[in-house]
């Protein structure tokens, strides 16, 4: 299952330890709030199961912290958006909900006794190997999790675990024999490694222009926005110590360090002060908006920006690009750094196709990449057609699972080459790896005796392959059987 989830990069591991590792030590990280309207509290419905905001927040927080740990505390909100952590969190919940729908239809249940026993079996809630209710209660209190929410999550994980276990099929002898044989095939190769250094490449400007002529629709200017901006600064807004303390006390859960641990008032004071100043300045910004709209004040700045320029935030660009924002419209105050920006659209200059002169540099770069790639493969095909083993590199017998460093390739390139080689049905051929192309010919092949120490590896490999195929097909079936209704935007890739 782990292999399948890593491969698809859509789903996380559905085992009981999601209920423990997912919660234990994971500080809360918020990802934003939405107006849910009549669906208050829920973000989506899968089949008959509702997914609520709290569950999405907790899942987001867990995944955020996992990534943050891998990035050694360098993950921020912008990077989180780039990694689509919100979408990953929702996809995990959506997939789990589909399996829970299926389990419900099949009558698969988990008793209260099973839940209680599983809680007692979680090592993090034990002292000297025995369940300690004080540790359990303290954990719930620290994480601001209600006991019933924790139990419900645990119950869902147990149901999913039961469901997948019931559908698991054991390995058959012939399957293990087939995989064992494949793992013990060894090839002796003659090969040549080609790169751009082997090319006699001459840049032809006429070819660049021809390339631009065919591709010119892809070379266009960015839409330009002519804007007037009123800035309302928050840095000079007056706040006192008591106000800062009160704001922190009310919102302390929002102030965490890179590992998700809540900051003390002293540690968070500078950030809290800035947030409070922004909050108090919002009313002033609103008055400036009204005055600007009624023509009583002039813009502080007139500027022309290309679409998605970093001077403005993603939120502002999203608003400016909306269908109802035309020339003459004024956007209500939005936060940029420590200020509010009230923005008027004076003109939107549409994108246009660049002239050859404007596009030449970009077109040249893309043409050279394409031309060299085509030339390299043409050289490889000619090399294969006239393959001479006398001038080739000859390897020892190699196997896929062995750590082999082939000559003229580094360890990573060697691994990728062998992965492609051992999944190919061709005795001779061409394989591309990174920026290189390898022309090969298998000159000898033999089946090595099966090592008894490989038994567990073979069993695991067969099980992984079967699980991968089964689970990917199961999800396809469940996608059709249990449709998803999303109540808010930004949850689906």
Whether 2-170+461-486 shares its CATH topology with 221-349 is answered no
**pLDDT computed for residue 70 by the predictor:** 83
Residue 71 has pLDDT above 90, yes or no: no
Helix/strand/coil for 14? coil
Residue 199 has pLDDT above 80, yes or no: yes
Determine contact, residues 154/119, Cβ cutoff 8 Å.
yes
Cα 463 to Cα 37, 148, 163, 274, 358: the distances in Å are 46, 35, 17, 55, 56
Give the mean pLDDT of 12-39. 38
For residue range 243-298, list pLDDT tens digits in order. 999 999 988 888 888 777 888 999 999 999 999 999 999 999 999 999 999 999 99
Instruction: Tell me, rounded to whole angstroms, the distance of Cα 274 from its chain centroid.
Output: 31
Determine contact, residues 284/236, Cβ cutoff 8 Å.
no
Per the model's pLDDT, the better-predicted residue between 453 and 203 turns out to be 203
**pLDDT computed for residue 180 by the predictor:** 66
CA distance 372 to 436: 11
Q: How many CA atoms, within 13 angstroms, populate the side-chain half-sphere of residue 16? A: 17
Looking at the whole model, is its pTM more than 0.85? no
Enclosing H/E stretch for 251: helix 241-251
What is the CATH class of 221-349?
alpha beta
Characterize 321-360 residue by residue with b for buried, 16 or more Cβ atoms within 10 angstroms of its Cβ, and e for exposed: eeeebeeeebbebbbbeebbbbbbbeebeeeeebeeeebb
Orientation angle between helical segments 147-166 and 112-121, nearest 10 degrees: 100
Determine contact, residues 237/281, Cβ cutoff 8 Å.
yes
Residue 333 has pLDDT above 50, yes or no: yes
Q: How many C-beta neighbours within 10 Å does residue 71 have?
A: 13
Residue 21 has pLDDT above 50, yes or no: no
For residue range 135-187, list pLDDT tens digits in order. 988 888 887 788 888 898 899 999 999 988 887 777 776 776 666 666 677 89
Classify residue 358 by its DSSP letter: H
What is the share, in percent, of the chain residues with pLDDT greater than 70? 87
**pLDDT computed for residue 251 by the predictor:** 86
Euclidean distance between the first and the last CA atom of the chain, given in angstroms as a whole number: 22
In terms of Cβ atoms closer than 10 Å to its own Cβ (0-12, 13-18, 19+), residue 486 is: middle
Residue 36 has pLDDT above 50, yes or no: no
Determine contact, residues 484/91, Cβ cutoff 8 Å.
no
Considering only 14-18, 52-56, 186-190, which range has the smallest mean pLDDT?
A: 14-18
Residue 19 has pLDDT above 50, yes or no: no
Domain spans in the chain, listed from the N-terminal domain onward: 2-170+461-486, 185-215+356-447, 221-349
Kindly give the pairing relationship between strand 224-233 and strand 339-349: antiparallel
- Domain 2-170+461-486 homologous superfamily, CATH: Porin chaperone SurA, peptide-binding domain (1.10.4030.10)
CA distance 231 to 435: 49
Determine contact, residues 427/442, Cβ cutoff 8 Å.
yes
Determine contact, residues 299/228, Cβ cutoff 8 Å.
yes
Mean pLDDT of the chain: 84
**pLDDT computed for residue 142 by the predictor:** 80
**pLDDT computed for residue 42 by the predictor:** 87
CA distance 5 to 11: 5
């Amino acid at each position: 299952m782990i292999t399948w989830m890593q491969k698809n990069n859509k789903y996380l591991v559905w085992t009981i330890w999601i209920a423990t590792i997912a919660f234990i030590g994971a500080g809360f990280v918020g990802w934003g709030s939405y107006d849910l309207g009549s669906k208050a509290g829920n973000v989506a419905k899968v089949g008959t199961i509702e997914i609520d905001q709290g569950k999405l927040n907790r899942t987001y927080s867990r995944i955020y912290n996992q990534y943050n740990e891998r990035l050694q505390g360098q993950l921020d909100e912008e990077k989180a958006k780039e990694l689509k952590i919100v979408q990953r969190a929702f996809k995990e919940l959506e997939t789990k909900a589909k399996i829970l729908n299926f389990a419900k239809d099949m009558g698969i249940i988990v008793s209260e006794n099973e839940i209680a026993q599983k809680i007692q079996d979680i090592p993090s809630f034990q002292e000297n190997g025995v369940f300690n209710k004080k540790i359990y209660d303290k954990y719930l209190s620290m994480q601001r999790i209600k006991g019933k929410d924790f139990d419900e999550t645990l119950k869902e994980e147990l149901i999913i675990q039961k469901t997948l276990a019931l559908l698991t099929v054991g390995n058959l002898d012939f399957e293990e024999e087939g995989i064992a044989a494949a793992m013990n095939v060894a090839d002796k190769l003659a090969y040549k490694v080609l790169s751009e250094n082997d090319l006699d490449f001459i840049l032809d400007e006429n070819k660049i222009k021809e390339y631009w002529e065919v591709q010119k629709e892809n070379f266009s200017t960015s839409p330009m926005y002519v804007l007037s901006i009123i800035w309302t600064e928050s840095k000079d807004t007056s706040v006192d110590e008591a106000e800062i303390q009160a704001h922190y006390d009310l919102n302390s859960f929002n102030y965490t360090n890179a590992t998700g641990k809540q900051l003390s008032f002293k540690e968070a004071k500078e950030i809290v002060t800035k947030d409070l100043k922004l909050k108090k300045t919002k009313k002033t910004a609103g008055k400036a908006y009204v005055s600007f709209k009624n023509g009583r004040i002039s813009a502080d700045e007139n500027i022309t920006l290309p679409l998605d320029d970093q001077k403005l935030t993603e939120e502002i660009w999203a608003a400016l690009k909306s269908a109802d924002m035309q020339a003459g419209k004024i956007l209500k105050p939005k936060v940029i750094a420590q200020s509010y920006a009230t923005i008027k659209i004076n003109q939107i200059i549409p994108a246009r196709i660049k002239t050859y002169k404007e596009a030449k540099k970009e077109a040249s770069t893309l043409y050279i990449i394409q031309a060299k790639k085509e030339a390299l493969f043409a050289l490889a095909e000619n090399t294969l057609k006239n393959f001479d083993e006398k001038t080739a590199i000859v390897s020892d017998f190699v196997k896929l699972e062995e750590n082999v460093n082939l000559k003229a390739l580094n360890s990573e390139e060697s691994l990728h080459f062998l992965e492609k080689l051992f999944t190919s049905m061709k005795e001779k051929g061409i394989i591309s790896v990174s920026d290189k192309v390898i022309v090969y010919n298998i000159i000898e092949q033999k089946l090595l005796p099966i090592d008894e120490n490989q038994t567990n590896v073979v069993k695991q490999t067969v099980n992984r392959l079967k699980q991968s195929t089964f689970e990917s097909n199961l999800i396809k079936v469940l996608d059709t059987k249990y449709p998803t209704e999303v109540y808010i935007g930004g949850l689906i890739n």
